[in-house]
Every structure is written in C-alpha cells, then in structure tokens.
Amino acid sequence: MVGRVLGHIRARLPCRLLDALAAPRYTPGLPKAKRGIHRPLHSRLSGLAATHSNTDSIPATARRSEVMSAWMFLTVAIVLEVVGTVLLKLSDGFEKWHWGALSILCYICCFWAFAPALKVIPVGVAYALWAGIGILAVTLIGFAVFREQLGAVQLVFIALIAIGAVGLRLTTTTAV
C-alpha cells in the first residue's frame, strides 16, 4: 500500500526533486556502493514501489512519451491493416499475386506495429480500436473506390462501431 502511494507521488514530481528525495542517506557500516551513491536513480527507487510495474521507475516524461508512442504504433497498425485489406481486395482472390503478396507484407508489418502498442494500451481496447477503425475505414474506401453499396441497417451498425471506437479512445487512460 505504501509503495503504491509513493509510486503515484513519484510519478508526479519533477526529476530534480526525485534526485533530492532519493539522495543516499548515511548508513553506518555500509560501503558507499551499497548506500546507493553510485547506483542510478531507478535502482535506488525500485524498493519503494515493489508492488508496481516496471514502468514506475521511469521518469514521468519518459512514460508520457512511451504512451504517445504506443498510440502512434496503434495508428500505424490500423493504417497498415486498412492498406492490407484494400490490397487483398485488389488481389481478386490472389489471382493477381503481386497485390496478394503486398497484402501479406502489410499484415506482417501491421502486427509488428501492433505489438509495441499492447505494452501500454490494454489489449481489449487496442484490439477494439484496431478492428473498429479498420472496419470503418475499409467500409468508406469500399464505398468510394470500389463502389460497394450498403443498406441503411448496415450503415447504422457501422456507425455504432465508430461510436464505440471513439468512446473507447476517449475513456481509456494509461499509466501516465
């Protein structure tokens, strides 16, 4: 419990203040190396929040950039998934093999970009956004490029997917 509270306090303090708080105290009988003088800040603070994840020892600014990177990776994964799906449509059931090969390459790159996003964003939220935004984008491309028509009920359900994706993004908080 105490470790959790200290972890939340540490996450909101400037790094210089953290250095001052984590300054080694005099401990009689211990050599300097064991007092924490020569150890990096994250190792000196690691004992304070043993119940927290390994990101607690990262400065708050680094964690914010990690969260932003996760959302960028998710965005790249969504774009690659949409491009891969469009290329799959162009392959005409893999009869045009070059479009099919490009589609497979896009999906491989998509999963490569999706994996780092899952380190920070909860998997259920990330997958729902990935699939939902992908469905919406492919539907719009199908309508605009391939002249595919959808019924009113189908459009309502796709709109519900879009509303759900936006709602998930607006209500998702990550450990910043």
The string of pLDDT tens digits covering residues 35-70 is 444 445 444 444 444 444 444 433 455 477 888 899
Domain end point (choices 23, 39, 57)? 57
Question: Which of 36 and 144 is assigned the larger pLDDT?
Answer: 144
Distance of alpha carbon 21 from alpha carbon 36, whole angstroms: 12
Asked if residue 152 has pLDDT above 90, the reply is yes
Mean pLDDT for 8-18 is 48
| Residue 88 pLDDT | 96
Domain count, the chain: 2
Q: How confident is the model at residue 82 (pLDDT cuts 50, 70, 90)?
A: very high
Distance of alpha carbon 31 from alpha carbon 37, whole angstroms: 10
- Domain span at residue 40 reads 2-57
Residues 22 and 100 in one domain: no
Residues 6+ apart with CB under 8 A from 105: 84
Distance of alpha carbon 35 from alpha carbon 38, whole angstroms: 8
